[in-house]
Each structure stands twice: as structure tokens, then as C-alpha cells.
């Protein structure tokens, strides 16, 4: 499926279990205490579940900002 930026931000907020208002396209992990290694695991699962996108293990470590998630989706042609 192809997603809008808003939908991706909704998904990220859900993975981090934080309020949607906390997450913007410029948010980085350091801004959100909940964005820890367990949250990154949730993001990995979200990309597979919602976008059928399988990350190579080494790429999982790059999920440290909203822009990084958006770029992965953009590069995979999954972002509207």
C-alpha cells in the first residue's frame, strides 16, 4: 500500500506509544524518550505489517528519526 506522511506519522506514534502531537516530520529519536531500542523493534514490525517492507537487519539501526522512516518508504515507492 501507499501511505500519506500523516498516516506514517500516526503509525510511528502508535509504535512509540506517544501522543500523535509529539511526532512531526522533523522528530528525531533524541527528542522522544520513548524512542528506545524496543520502539525501533516496533517500527521494524510496522514496516513489514503495514507496508510489506522487509528491512535488512543492518538498516534497522537507521530508524532513529521520522525522516529516516519516511526515506525508507519513499525509496521503496510506498509513500504517496
Among positions 51-80, residues that touch another protein (CB under 8 A) are 54-61, 63
Rg (CA), the chain: 11
Roughly what angle, to the nearest 10 degrees, separates helices 5-16 and 66-75? Answer: 130
Binding mask 15-54 for another protein (x = CB under 8 A): ----------------------xx-xxx-xx--xx----x
The SS3 assignment for 3 reads: strand
Taking the complex as a whole, how short is the minimal distance between the CB of residue 4 and another protein, in angstroms?
21
Half-sphere exposure in the Cβ direction for 9 (13 Å, CA): 14
Chain positions contacting another protein, by CB under 8 A: 37-38, 40-42, 44-45, 48-49, 54-61, 63
Amino acid at each position: 500500500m501507499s501511505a500519506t506522511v500523516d498516516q506514517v506519522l500516526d503509525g510511528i506514534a502508535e509504535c512509540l506509544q506517544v501522543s500523535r502531537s509529539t511526532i512531526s516530520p522533523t522528530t528525531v529519536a533524541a527528542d522522544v524518550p520513548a524512542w528506545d531500542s524496543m520502539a525501533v523493534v516496533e517500527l521494524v514490525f510496522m514496516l513489514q505489517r503495514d507496508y510489506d517492507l522487509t528491512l535488512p537487519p543492518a538498516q534497522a539501526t537507521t530508524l532513529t528519526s521520522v525522516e529516516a522512516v519516511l526515506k525508507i518508504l519513499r525509496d521503496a515507492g510506498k509513500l504517496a
